Chain A
Amino acid sequence: QLQLQESGPGLVKPSETLSLTCTVSGGSITSSDYSWGWIRQPPGKGLEWIGNIYYSGITYYNPSLKSRVTMSVDSSKNQFSLKVNSVTAADTAVYYCARREEVMAGTLEYWGQGTLVTVSS
């Protein structure tokens, strides 16, 4: 059974870098049938896609965040990661990782439980 688990600091200071990791269990991160993504949700608001990464390293980012976002994959640990630099209070959100099913028209079928990141001094 596939599981995704986000981890990382729950509090980040303004202007610093937010760093999160998603650990995948019950499946391999190296399969070409999938890509791996991050989605966030500010408190009380809707869902915002951040980006996706393939095992090959190919990335696609939300144009509105592209200048501040970096994603990477660590196949040795079956993990993928997110970095958002120069954070502000507007980056406060629950961050979810998810698996995109390439053979199912890009369906985001599996999600992690989410982790709250607060940007505050």
Chain B
Amino acid sequence: SYELAQPPSVSVSPGQTAIISCSGDDLGDKYASWFQQKPGQSPLLVIYENGKRPSGIPARFSGSNSGNTATLTISGTQAMDEGDYYCQAWDYNTAVFGTGTKVTVL
């Protein structure tokens, strides 16, 4: 079965850049989405189709996808960006979620 691997945690200072990777076989041939999840809340879509932002998502969130790795970049990270982040892609008609990354803003 298809798998997506993420680092368990990423720490970043306020105002700095957080980079979260998501790795899977030939992931660049698929579309990747990214979700933010805060405690007690449902996942929130922050990036879709590799690099597009839904309405209302700040421009500091950006994404890319090439080769075997998709990347979520949070520029000028704010305290409100703390939470768990999950990548997701479709393998044929099966949705696969990444293992999740906890982002801590120190």
Q: Does B associate with A?
A: yes
- Using CB atoms and an 8 Å cutoff, list the residues of chain A in contact with chain B: 37, 39, 46-49, 52, 60, 62-64, 96, 104-109, 111-114
- Compute how far the CA of A113 lies from the CA of B37 in the bound complex, rounded to whole angstroms: 12
| Known A49-B95, A105-B49: A113·B100 in contact at CB below 8 Å | no
Contact of B93 among A52, A96, A111, A114 (CB under 8 A): A52
For the A-B complex with A62-B94, A105-B90, A109-B54 known, give 4 more contacts whose Cβ atoms are closer than 8 Å.
A39-B95, A60-B93, A106-B31, A108-B35
Q: Would you call B7 an interface residue if the criterion is a C-beta within 8 Å of the partner chain's C-beta atoms?
A: no
Residues of A near B54 (CB, < 8 A) are 109
Q: Would you call B33 an interface residue if the criterion is a C-beta within 8 Å of the partner chain's C-beta atoms?
A: yes
Contact of A108 among B1, B33, B98 (CB under 8 A): B33
| Dominant SS among interface residues on chain B | strand
Q: Would you call B62 an interface residue if the criterion is a C-beta within 8 Å of the partner chain's C-beta atoms?
A: no
Q: How many interface residues does B have (CB within 8 Å)?
A: 22
Binary A-proximity of B26-49 (CB < 8 A = 1, otherwise 0): 000001010100000011110011
| Known A109-B45, A111-B42, A112-B42: A47·B100 in contact at CB below 8 Å | yes
Q: Would you call B88 an interface residue if the criterion is a C-beta within 8 Å of the partner chain's C-beta atoms?
A: yes
When C-beta atoms are compared, the residue in chain B nearest to A48 turns out to be B97
When C-beta atoms are compared, the residue in chain A nearest to B48 turns out to be A107
A106 touches B42 (CB 8 A): no
Q: Would you call B99 an interface residue if the criterion is a C-beta within 8 Å of the partner chain's C-beta atoms?
A: yes
